[in-house]
Amino acid sequence: MQSWNLIIKQLLLGSAQAGPLPKESQLQLEHWQLQQIGQEQLELQYLQALAAQSLFKKAELPLGQLPEEAQKTKKIQDEQQAAPQKASWMLQQILSRRQEELLPAWIDLAHSQNWRVAPDNLADILTFGSRHKELRPAIISVLGQTGRYLAQFKRSWSYAAIKELQEEELAQADFSSLLFWLQQERRLDPANALKVIQQYWKEWSKKQRLEVLELLHIELSKADEAFLEEVQNDRRQEIRQAAVELLLLLPNTALEKRMQTALEQLIQYDGELLKVAAPEKLSTQLKKDGIREHYQAFSEGKNSNWLAQMIASVAPSYWAKNWELSPMACLQLALNSDYRQALIWGWSKAAHRLKDLDWLMAFHQLFMQNEPKGKQALFFSLEFLYYDLPSSFFNELAMAYLRASGKRSIDDEDPIMQLLLQEGQSWEAELGRQVLEAMKISLAQGFSVFQWNHKTLLKRAAFALDESLFEDKELLNDWPQLDYSWQKELDQFSAQISFRKELAQLKAL
C-alpha cells in the first residue's frame, strides 16, 4: 500500500511539490495498464488509478489481481449500451444521497432507453441491492452481463450473479445457487418450483427452510396450500408460523374454515345483539393454526388476546356477509361490546393483510368522524392501517381525509398528516396541489415554528408530487414569508424537484 500512498500524495500536492514517483509506484501504474498521457497531466493518471483501486476494494478483490476463474472467462458481450454520463451521474446521486425512492424511476428510464448501469456505478448499485431485497429484481434487470458477472466475486452481491443451473444439476448445487434457481423458476413455473421444494425440503436446515418459505410469496396461490398445511407439522415454531402467515394470505383455506367453525361458537349475532365470549383454553389445533399462547396485542387477559388472533385469521368480509351488515355497521356493533379490543384489533389486522378496501375505508372513516373515546376507547394503536396501501386507494383516502376535515389548512395533529408522511406513495396531481396549497395556508397563519411535521411533509412532497406539476411555478415557488429556518427546507425542496425534472426530461429524449 506504500506505493498507493505515494500516488495519493502526488495527487494532493501536485507532481512539482511531491517530486517524481519512485519506480515501485510507476510499476503499480503500469500494472493497471493505464494509458500514458504525458507528465503534464500526471495527476489525471493518478485519479484513474485511484478510481480503479476503489472499484477493486468495493468488490473485495486483491488490487490488480483478478480471480483465476475470471481470467479464463470468455469476453463478456453486453447487448445494452452503458448509461451516458448524465444518467450515470444521476444514478450516483440517487445511491449516495439515500434517494432510493427515485431508483425505480431511473430504472424505468434505463429500460426505455435500453441502457445498462455503467461500469463505474456497478459496485454501488450492487451494494445497494444487498441492503434492499425488494429492489433486487429491478436492479438485476439493468446490470447487463458485466454487472451480473461482477456480482459473483462478493458474497453480498451474489443475489445478482449469473447462475445458469439446469434442473438436472440441482442435486449437486450449493444452497445459494439452488435458492437463486428457485426464485427464477417460481416466476416462470410456480408448480415446478414447488415440486423441487418438496423434493429437497427434508434436507434443509431451519434457516434454509425459512428462506425457501420467504420466496413462496412469489406467485403464491391455492396450489401451495397442501404443502403449507404439511409444513404446519414442522417441529420448529418459527417454521410453523411462517407457513401460517402464508396460508393467511390465501382465500378460503382449510385453516380459515377451521377458524370460522371455532369462532361461530364464540361470536353470535341475532340481528340485534352481539354476544361474544373468549376461548377458555388454547387447543392443540389452535396452536398449530398460529394462535400464540403468550402473544399480547393489547392490555387485556390472555383469553381476549387469543380471541383477537383467531378473528384476525378470518377475512372480515365473512362477518359482514353472514350478518348482512356494512363494515361500518360491524364496527359500531364492536365498539359497544365488552370485547371491542379483540374484535377491532382482529378485523383491522385481517383487513390490512388482505387489502380489503371496503373495510379499510370503514376504519379510516371511523377516525375521520371521531376517534373512539371513553367506554369505546381502544388500548392499541391502529397506525399500521396507514402503511403499505395500494396507490389508488391511498390517493382516494387522502382526498377523503381532506374533505372530512372541513378546513383549507393542515395541522400537525390532523389525521391526514400521518397518512401523507408514508414513504413510497406517489400523490396524484390533484392531491399534490391541494396538499401544497393547504401547507401554504397553515404556514401563512404564523405557526411555522410549531408545525414540526410540515418540514417533513415538504421533504415527502418533493418525492411524491406528480410530474405534471413540475411546470406550475406558482404552486412550487410562491411560498409565504417564513423565518430563516425554513429557507434551507425550501431550497432542498426546489433542488429535489429540479433533479426529478431532469430525470423526467432524460426519459423524454
Instruction: Write a three-state SS string for 31-52.
Output: HCCCCCCCHHHHHHHHHHHHHH
Q: Tell me which of 75-89, 191-205, 348-362 is least confident.
A: 75-89
> Does position 266 have pLDDT exceeding 90, yes or no?
yes
Whole-number pLDDT of residue 218: 93
Strands 81-82 and 115-116: parallel
Q: What is the mean pLDDT of residues 346-352?
A: 97
- pLDDT tens digit sequence for 133-182: 888 889 999 999 888 888 887 888 888 887 666 777 788 888 888 888 88
> Does position 18 have pLDDT exceeding 80, yes or no?
no
Q: Rounded to 5 degrees, what angle do the CA atoms 467, 469, 474 make?
A: 150
Q: What are phi and psi of 402, to 5 degrees?
A: -60, -45
Q: Produce one character per residue of 298-317: b if its CB has 16 or more CB atoms within 10 Å, e if not.
A: eebeebbbbbbbbbbbbbbb
Whole-number pLDDT of residue 79: 83
Three-state secondary structure call for residue 164: coil
Other Cβ atoms closer than 10 A to 222: 10
Residue 116 DSSP class: E
- pLDDT tens digit sequence for 37-57: 445 555 565 556 556 666 666
Residue 275 DSSP class: E
Widest CA span in the chain = 95
- pLDDT tens digit sequence for 70-109: 555 566 778 889 999 999 999 999 998 778 889 999 999 9
Per-residue CA distances from 467 to 75, 429, 476, 489, 493 (Å):
41, 8, 12, 20, 14
Whole-number pLDDT of residue 37: 44
Q: What is the mean pLDDT of residues 419-427?
A: 93
Q: What is the mean pLDDT of residues 203-214?
A: 95
Sign of CA dihedral 495, 501, 505, 506: positive
pLDDT band (50, 70, 90) for residue 406: confident
> Does position 211 have pLDDT exceeding 80, yes or no?
yes
Whole-number pLDDT of residue 35: 43
Whole-number pLDDT of residue 48: 60
- pLDDT tens digit sequence for 453-477: 899 999 999 999 999 999 999 999 9
Whole-number pLDDT of residue 224: 98
Nearest to 368 by CA among 338, 320, 331, 334: 331
What is the CA 295 to chain-centroid distance, rounded? 26
Reading the block at residue 148, the C-alpha cell is 451480473
Per-residue CA distances from 346 to 241, 312, 319, 349, 415 (Å):
17, 4, 12, 5, 22
pTM: 0.81
pLDDT band (50, 70, 90) for residue 62: low
